[in-house]
Structure 1
Amino acid sequence: MNLFADIRAVVLDAIAALTREGVLPEGLNTDAVTTEPPRDPLHGDMATNAAMVLAKPAGKKPRDIAEALAAKLVADSRVASAEVAGPGFLNLRLEVSVWQSVPGAILKAGTAYGRSDMGTGSKVNVEYVSANPTGPMHVGHARGAIVGDAMASLLAYAGYDVTREYYINDGGAQVDVLARSVFNRYLEAHDLTVDWPEGSYPGDYLVPVGEALKAKVGDIWLEAEEDVWLEPVREFAIAAMMDLIRDDLAALNVHMDVFFSEKSLYGTGKIEAAIDSLKAMGLVYRGILPKPKGKADEDWEEREQWLFKSTEFGDDEDRPVMKADGSWAYFAPDIAYHYDKVQRGFDLLINIFGADHGGYVKRLKAVVKALSNDRVPLDIKLIQLVKLFKNGAPFKMSKRAGTFITLRDLVDEVGADVARFHMLTRKSDAALDFDFDKVVEQSKENPVFYVQYAHARISSAMRKAREAGFDISDAALAGVDLSGVVHASELSLVGKLAEWPRLVEIAARTHEPHRIATYLSELAAMLHGLWNAGKEHPELRFLQDTEAATQPKIALAHATAVVISAGLGILGVTPVEEMR
């Protein structure tokens, strides 16, 4: 059931009728016609923009179309009134019986309520986290992991075939630095004193890695030259770091489908194949880049190199794919990686990047557009910083890394549920304050507590109804008569429940899982408002004296719990039965 979609269909039927009658011309495009909640609830239950959208192509005044549509719409048994407002907006009020049917429809659908086939099985690749395997993940990685994971769940809920992917950045010089740092810990495991050069990774998290390396190889590398041990230590270190990263992600309830190694692109012909594909399209050429703005003449040397024509696809300048010395530019493996994604048959690519990667957005979109012949869109979401506070002051130190808060520190401190919900309370491109004290306090100012408390309150009411001997099985509640649900607080809650399928599709279409968290907070506030109203108005309480009086109230409460549970499931947060 999607009530907003159902009423939109009523509006489209009315447009079709007016077309048959000659009031509207043939061939009007109705794709932009919407039905949505009005900005001011006093104006009605739903509003449609049909007259405003159709006026220009129909060659008519929007108000004239709106009046003709209103006359058609009120003939439908579900529409109580249709009022024209302003230049041609159309506000609709539905019969109360329509709203009263919503909780039963939710309970009949169960976990399927709100799910959509909007994605029609289209294949989507969501790449997120993709941290360098040089140490434990920090809080910034945590936010990207949570946003990406929730987005993947949201898209799957909306009918897409989703692949969760982690790109292992193991092809650059940083992994050689990691190997040397692990080797230092290996030497220390043999009670040797070492020097830590600037730029190395001296964190304690490498101590057990060095000890594990000692346990594996003994003392065979103590006197060996670097060219003997560097490659095997690098492989050992990367494997150890990826085990650590997988464990940290699992603690946050994040599990990947694919781990793709950047190193697998080198020496396998994959980079060459991607660049050759661009060359075949005439999109790679020998050229010289202009001097960057602000660069002094004495610091700039013109060099001819292979360039990708990214300006043909909206980028600010063409991008080098090979340096003048014949080595691959930093962009080359990125091209090959996205070419691989296109070759794997994905219909949509989504990348979750840190805010410091903003400069790569245009060039990556350009190359995916070129490599897919404009078939595969690429959406890149930038994740802004997380500012940590504790006891009212900035909180920066880490127990294990020494310089930052790790993802595991975060989970150990507040738990995965709290971390996940709070990281999704704001749009990903907005900075986020994370106060360790406030996120665990039990108050209505804490959104995760307020939402989970709503679910727990409903569970409590249902337990008490069962203890009273009332039949509140799904079968009984799904068919119960809700004609007595007429109070404004009850109907407002029903109206919010009716928005769920529409909200899911909007959030999935815009790739914005934070909309789910916002919706759940609003829904929980309405549930608590109704609960509190019952203190002064006993007839609103979920638990009444008789089964017949209790069942409609519990049906509404249970329908609310179904939606809260579904929303929390998308966010990766556990709905609780009772608060402790």
Structure 2
Amino acid sequence: MFRQFRAAVADALETALADAGYPTDDLGIEEPPDDVDATLASSVAFRLAAEAGAPPPQVAAELAEAIDPEPVTYLARVDTQGPYLNFYTDGTYLTDTVDAAATDETFGTLPDRGESVVVEHTSANPTGPIHVGRARNPIVGDAVANTLSYAGYDVARHYYVNDAGRQMAVFTWAYETFDEGDLPEPERDGDDYDLVRYYRAGNAYLDPDDDSWASTAAEREAAEAEIEAIMEGLEAGDEATYERVTAVVDTVLGGMRETLDRLPVSFDEFVKETRFMRDGSVDDVVERLQALEEAVYEEDAWQLDLHEHGIDKNFVFLRENDTSLYTTRDVAHHEWKFDEFDRAVTVIGEDHELTFRQLDTTLELLGNDTDRLEQVFYSWVNLPGGEGMSTREGTGVDLDDLLDEAVDRARAEVERRLDDRQRDDELDETDVERIAEQVGVGAVRFDVVAKQPTKTITFEWDRALDFEAQSAPYVQYVHARCCGIADEARAAGVEPATTPDPDLLDTPEERALVREIARLPAVIEEAADELEPHRVASYVRRFAETFNAFYRECPVLSADEDRAAARLALVLAARTTVANALDVLGVAAPESM
């Protein structure tokens, strides 16, 4: 409804401007101040004052007079406050909004755009558990994919698996070389925690400055020869070598997927880079790159000199032994994306910005439309000192550690609140565990996705798990309250109004809640257009404040029969709205807390 109203207001204002001989390129439509009970406002009079030779309030008044509300969808009236035009909605807007959100569980989703988008995110090298510093990638990536899906795009979620580089060759060699008895105990259960011990041992063995294995130069040289053979075997398409590496990669990746499932984050496809080596795509890319004017052979490698394209660092794409690099294979990967999808979005750490500038330029030189490729860069997640996290020597803090701690702290808070209430109908242990998981994991996800990706996050427990502040539990509580009211109404035999009378929802708190409900589709659309899911987090925080004001001032079941039915419909509309906004962010919406 908000999107329809905004479009109708824009058309009416544009017509009024054109009729008055004013330019229509900037309508200045925006949200009104909090103390103005309108749905939209326009600051266009500021821009026109000089041209009109009149003060902005006079220009605004002339435009308001020129707009007839009657044919404008949902428009009740137009008035002015100083230089601003204010646009007010009618009762049909309220009724349609409440009906739509209360009866349609998909409220907030936009029509199918007929456009496919692949979102690649996480794509952590399968060398061990996911570190907390990289936790932002799956959380932001999943939210970006959710936002685009809600906005009407056909979204595919991909994890690009690095299964061909030196790291995986080292890992494979180490796994086949060391014995279980040579390694320390795993830090915790999980295939990634089990196998990462081999990877760490292999790197220590190859490091001449690491005396934990006391390897000789001759032993290291022999190991390097075996590692090089693995890399060359992959490049040559040797099936036996591929199977050896795949056995390690798939095992580690399976453990990493168990961690991602906890968030939860899922993928439609795990795309392996060896795919593009085995099908000839990489050879084709190398041949085409060598034919470019920018191609040079320097320092025993084929490279692209990109200085004339504003990039100081060369793009290396082929080693002297004719083995490709990750970046070369990624060119083939992205050309495959362009063949399969209309758009490609990659969520990636800010330390890869230069690499992606090189990639964009290289793809363009090869004749690709790089306007179809977009990146969302993110900064890191830090933990402050003294936060009570157990850090294992030499490994830092893994995402599993963070999630364990979040659930433990959420459980303690839930149990404390139950004790404070001293209720007879306390939740059982299953309920407590469910809520602790939903709140704990939700706190991590919400706190991460609520910030602009380029800003570094310092994760703080007190803020993230605060039931009273604008955190995940604060917003989740709104959904639980809506569910509680619905359950009580059902028990009392109260039915929601199917077409609520606007006159029965006439308090400022009710009208404000309707306005916020109506905005959800527009917020999702804007978040998708800008690839900024944190806009949805900002919206849902404001929504929670608005609902809580309604909850305090507008009792449902104690109202008279007709008003109770109208307010119940509004509560059901609010429940759908907050549930779907949280779903965009990947945060659970508990039915009880």
TM-score range with shorter-chain normalisation?
Answer: 0.7 to 0.9
Residue 460 of structure 1 corresponds to 484
Distance 1:210 1:319 in 2: 31
Separation in structure 1 between the aligned mates of residue 542 and residue 373 of structure 2, nearest angstrom: 31
Aligned match of 1:135: 128
- 1:208 is displaced (CA, Å) by 4.7
Question: 1:216 maps to what in 2?
Answer: none
Q: Distance in 1 between matches of 2:480 and 2:371?
A: 43
Q: Distance in 1 between matches of 2:157 and 2:48?
A: 41
The corresponding residue for 2:430 is none
Cα 1:34/1:14, change in 2 over 3 Å: closer
Per-residue deviation, 1:62: 9.9
Matches of 1:60 and 1:84 in 2, distance apart? Answer: 19
Worse-matched range after superposition: 240-249 or 360-369:
360-369
| Aligned partner letter, 1:366 | T
* Alignment partner of 1:80 is 2:94: no
Matched position secondary structure for 2:502:
coil
Mapped pair 1:243 → 2:243 = no
Of 390, 402, 408, 1:410 maps to: 402
CA distance in 2 between partners of 1:271 and 1:242 (Å):
24
CA separation of 1:95/1:152 partners in 2, compared to 1, >3 Å: closer, same or farther?
Answer: closer
- Give CA-to-partner distance per residue, 1:466-494, whole Å, 9 cap, x none: 2222123xxxx331213122222222222
Matches within 5 A, 1:541-560: 541-560=555-574
Picking from 295, 309, 314, the partner of 1:285 is 295
Match of 2:391 among 385, 392, 397: 397
Counterpart for residue 31 of structure 2: 37
Q: Is the 8 A contact 2:143 2:533 kept in 1?
A: yes
- Is the 1:454–1:528 contact (alpha carbons within 8 Å) kept by the matching residues of 2? yes
- Aligned residue number for residue 94 of structure 1: 88
Structure 1 residues 365-374 or 247-256, which shifts more? 365-374
C-alpha distance in 1 between matches for 2:102 and 2:172: 57
1:467 counterpart letter in structure 2: A
Give how far 1:510 is off.
0.7
Give the partner amino acid of 2:358. R
CA contact (8 A) 2:43 2:85 kept: no
Aligned to 2:529: 509
Cα deviation for residue 377 of structure 1 reads 2.7
| Cα displacement (A) at 1:383 | 1.9
Q: Distance in 2 between matches of 1:202 and 1:461?
A: 48
Aligned mates of 2:490, 2:398 — CA distance in 1: 45
Structure 1: which 5+ residue stretches go unaligned?
Answer: 213-224, 289-301, 535-539
Match of 2:417 in 1: none
Show CA shifts across 1:414-462 (max 9, x none).
Answer: 2433322222121111111223455345x21251111111111111112
Note the C-alpha offset of 1:244. 0.9
Aligned counterparts of 1:571 and 1:109: Cα–Cα separation in 2: 22
Aligned to 1:335: 331
1:95–1:340 distance in 2 versus 1, CA, 3 Å: closer
Q: Which amino acid aligns with 1:16?
A: T
Correspondence list, 1:22-171, <5 A: 23-24=20-21, 33=27, 35-39=29-33, 41-42=35-36, 44-48=38-42, 66-76=60-70, 78-83=75-80, 85-86=82-83, 90-95=84-89, 97=91, 100-107=94-101, 110-117=104-111, 120-171=113-164
Distance 1:359 1:116 in 2: 35
Distance 2:175 2:290 in 1: 41
> For residue 298 of structure 1, what is the aligned residue in structure 2?
none
Match for residue 175 of structure 1 among 168, 177, 182:
168
What is the letter of the counterpart of residue 458 of structure 1? C
Q: Deviation of residue 389 (structure 1)?
A: 4.5
Aligned to 2:271: 260
What are the Cα deviations for residues 178-234 of structure 1, in whole angstroms up to 9, with x where unaligned?
22432355x22xx4x47x9xxxx986766755999xxxxxxxxxxxx9759974543
1:322 to 318, 321, 338: 318
Secondary structure in structure 2 of the residue aligned to 1:499: helix
| 1:3-57, Cα deviation, whole Å (9 max, x unpaired) | 24324323314533664x5x338xx775x5463312554384312355677899x
Alignment of 1:424-503 (within 5 A): 424-436=449-461, 438-441=463-466, 443-445=467-469, 447-472=471-496, 477-503=497-523
Aligned equivalent of 1:350, options 323, 345, 349: 345
**Contact 1:310–1:363, Cα closer than 8 Å, also in 2:** no
In structure 2, C-alpha distance between the alignment counterparts of 1:556 and 1:116, rounded to whole Å: 21
SS of the aligned residue for 1:382 comes to strand
> Contact conserved, 2:450 with 2:538, CA < 8 A, in 1?
yes
**Any conservation in 1 of the 2:276–2:333 contact (CA below 8 Å)?**
yes
CA distance 1:51–1:173, shift in 2 (3 Å):
same
Identical columns (%): 27
In structure 2, what residue type is equivalent to 1:241? V
Pairwise CA RMSD: 3.6
CA pair 11-343 structure 1, distance change in 2 beyond 3 A:
closer
CA–CA distance in 2 between the matches of 1:115 and 1:340?
Answer: 29
8 Å CA contact 2:105–2:576 kept in 1: the answer is yes
